C-alpha cells in the first residue's frame, strides 16, 4: 500500500521561481554590460560551485567573474541586474501553498543557490511563509547531485523516505533522490506535477490553483 506524503521536498529555480542566475541571464548580462561572454562564462564555471556551496560571498564571486578588470559600471548595478532575473512561477507557488494549507504537510526546500541570491529570493517571494526548512547548498555546504544533501534534508525533516516526495525540474536530481527511496516528480508544469503527486495517493488534484 502506498504511504501518504507527509513531507514535500522541492527545488526552487525552475519550479517555484525562475532560475536566479542561469545561462540565459548570464548571456543577457554579457550583452547589457558589454562583457566577453566566453571569458565570463568560463570564469563562472570555474568558481560558481564554490559560491553555491557557501564558500565565497557574492562580492568574491563577482570579483573573480566580472570585476577582475576595471568596468564602466559598479558592483551594485550589476547585482541589481542579477536580482531582477528572479520572477515567480505563480501557478506552482499557489499550488504548493495550497498543499501546505490543506494538508498541513512539511515543505522543505532542497536547492543549489548562493547565499545572497538565495536569501533575496526567500524574502522577495515570501517562501518563508509556507516553507518549514531550507536545505540550501549555501547553508549546508554541499550541492545536488550529492546524495548527502537529501540525507540531511531527511534528517532535518525527521521523515522516512517512503513518506516523502521530491519535485525538481532536473531529472538527474530526482533520480538521485530516488536512490534513497524518495518518490520524485520531474517538474514540467503545475498541472502535470499535481497529477503526478495525486497518483502517489497523497493529494487531491483539486488543490491545483491558477495564478493569484
Q: What is the pLDDT of residue 90?
A: 97
Q: What pLDDT is stored for residue 209 in this prediction?
A: 46
Cis peptide before 3, with omega less than 30 degrees from 0? no
Three cell numbers, residue 67 = 570585476
Residue 166 · residue 183 · CB < 8 Å? yes
Q: Can you read off the three cell numbers belonging to residue 182?
A: 524518495
User: Residue 131, exposed/middle/buried by CB under 10 A (0-12, 13-18, 19+)?
Assistant: buried
Reported as half-sphere exposure (CB side, CA atoms, 13 A), residue 172 has a value of 5
- Among 87, 29, 186, smallest CA distance to 178 is for 186
Collapsing DSSP states into helix, strand and coil, what is residue 111?
Answer: strand
- Relative to beta strand 106-111, strand 7-10 is parallel
Give the pLDDT score at 1: 57
The three grid cell numbers given for residue 46, joined into one nine-digit string: 570555474
Please give the Cα distance from 3 to 96 (Å, whole number): 19
Predicted local distance difference test score (pLDDT) of residue 204:
54
- Residue 200: the pLDDT is 87
Residue by residue, pLDDT tens for the chain (212 residues) are 578 899 999 999 999 999 999 999 999 999 999 999 999 999 999 999 999 999 999 999 999 999 999 999 999 999 999 999 999 999 999 999 999 999 999 999 999 999 999 999 999 999 999 999 999 999 999 999 999 999 999 999 999 999 999 999 999 999 999 999 999 999 999 999 999 999 887 665 444 444 44
Q: Give the residue among 125, 129, 163 at the shortest CA–CA distance from 9.
A: 163
Inter-axis angle of helices 75-84 and 58-65, nearest 10 = 110
Amino acid at each position: 500500500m502506498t504511504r501518504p506524503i507527509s513531507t514535500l521536498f522541492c527545488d526552487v529555480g525552475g519550479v517555484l521561481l525562475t532560475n536566479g542566475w542561469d545561462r540565459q541571464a548570464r548571456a543577457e548580462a554579457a550583452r547589457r554590460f558589454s562583457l566577453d561572454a566566453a571569458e565570463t562564462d568560463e570564469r563562472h564555471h570555474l568558481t560558481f560551485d564554490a559560491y553555491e556551496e557557501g564558500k565565497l560571498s557574492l562580492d568574491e564571486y563577482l570579483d573573480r567573474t566580472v570585476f577582475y578588470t576595471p568596468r564602466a559600471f559598479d558592483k551594485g548595478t550589476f547585482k541589481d541586474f542579477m536580482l531582477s532575473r528572479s520572477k515567480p512561477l505563480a501557478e506552482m507557488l499557489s499550488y504548493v501553498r495550497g498543499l501546505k494549507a490543506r494538508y498541513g504537510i512539511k515543505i522543505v526546500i532542497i536547492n543549489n543557490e548562493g547565499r545572497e541570491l538565495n536569501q533575496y529570493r526567500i524574502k522577495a517571494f515570501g517562501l518563508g511563509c509556507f516553507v518549514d526548512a531550507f536545505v540550501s547548498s549555501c547553508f549546508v555546504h554541499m550541492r545536488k547531485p550529492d546524495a548527502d544533501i537529501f540525507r540531511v534534508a531527511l534528517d532535518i525533516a525527521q521523515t522516512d523516505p517512503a513518506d516523502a516526495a521530491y519535485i525538481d525540474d532536473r531529472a538527474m536530481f530526482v533520480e538521485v533522490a530516488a536512490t534513497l527511496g524518495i518518490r520524485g516528480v520531474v517538474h514540467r508544469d503545475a498541472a502535470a506535477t499535481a497529477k503526478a503527486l495525486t497518483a502517489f495517493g497523497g493529494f487531491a488534484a483539486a488543490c491545483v490553483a491558477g495564478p493569484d
